[in-house]
Amino acid sequence: MNTLPIRHVDSDGNLLVRDGLILAFFAPRPFADMAAGVASAFDEWLKFVPADSLKWAKVGANAEDVSPADSRTISRCRALLDPAKAQKRDPTAFSIEGPEAVNPGFRFQVFGTREIKQRQALQQTNLVEMRFPTEILKEKGIPTFISLSTRIAEAVPYDSGYCSIALNWAAEGLLSEAGVVIVPLAMRHPGFDVHRNLRTRGVLGRQLRGPGWLTFVSVELVETLGGEDQLRHKLDPGVEVARAGNGLLLRAGEAPEIADVNRKERLPLLRSVARAIEPVTRFRDKLLEGGVFNDDSEKFQRWLRRFLD
């Protein structure tokens, strides 16, 4: 991973684009039914991250900007995950992050709705997303990170999920500018995730965003793919398959790789996962296409299908 770390600062001094690990789960069910599990996942994440790294938060759906975290912030976030209260509130939303105020290395973000709507173009799902500095894999060790990811998968009743090295951007207002940096990097290094999951949750429904270093596939989606035996048969023997909560964890290699197409590096394990999950992968996301890829549909589709075509 000689390309890493990535730190692009804009003319105003904002950390416009950075690399980081993203671990995200999607679950299309009433959020109250999963709130207790998300609370357990939140506690696991809090135990994993440095206590002094969480400096900022946005608590509640009506909060517009992040503000400094204080001694009550974690308790306020936990309170939003009370199932009885979640049943009366819509939506349930918060993020807590740091240490940076803009484009932080650590973040725990939740967006859940009381009623999931799935009709025509509107295919909603809830989002639980965590971010970590890429360096955490060396600092904590890959086995420790895998253990954390598995415990979180066991707590959150997911439909799909993934973990990848991602190109994280500063803020919605800077997304177009960030895209100018992100897209060339993503086209050259196919292992990078490019995401806008807070918006994608409105259209993903019961599909996967695509393959990651870690890909989580629910029991229901495994059945859609023909069952566990057929899924294992489609995968390269180098892809590790393990039970994880409400489904299977597909692990494409010991550590995440970003690769370099200029060096003809092809990431065969990720290609294997991509082929196996293709029938339940979503290949349309106008919000991601417009926000990051600046409405370049041809380039966006090439990136989405980078492990298949």
| Residue numbers of the domain that contains 252 | 7-304
- Indicate whether 1 belongs to any domain: no
- Indicate whether 299 belongs to any domain: yes
- Indicate whether 53 belongs to any domain: yes
Average pLDDT, the chain: 96
pLDDT bin (cut points 50, 70, 90) of residue 155 is very high
Q: Residues 190-215: pLDDT tens digits?
A: 999 999 999 999 999 999 999 999 99
What the block records as the tokens of 25 is: 């789960």
**pTM greater than 0.95:** yes
Helix (H), strand (E), coil (C) string for 124-171: CCEEEEEEECCCHHHHHCHHHHHHHHHHHHHHCCCCEEEEEEEEEECC
CB-based contacts of 91: which residues, under 8 Å, 6+ apart?
31, 61, 111, 112, 113, 114
- Indicate whether 52 belongs to any domain: yes
- Indicate whether 204 belongs to any domain: yes
Residues β-bridged to residue 21: 132, 165
- The values of phi and psi at residue 300, to 5°, are -65, -45
- Indicate whether 187 belongs to any domain: yes
- Indicate whether 309 belongs to any domain: no
Q: Residues 252-283: pLDDT tens digits?
A: 999 999 999 999 999 999 999 999 999 999 99
Q: Residues 59-87: pLDDT tens digits?
A: 999 998 999 999 999 999 999 999 999 99
Total domain count, the chain: 1
| Enclosing H/E stretch for 220 | helix 219-224
- Indicate whether 2 belongs to any domain: no
For residues 149-162, give the mean pLDDT. 98
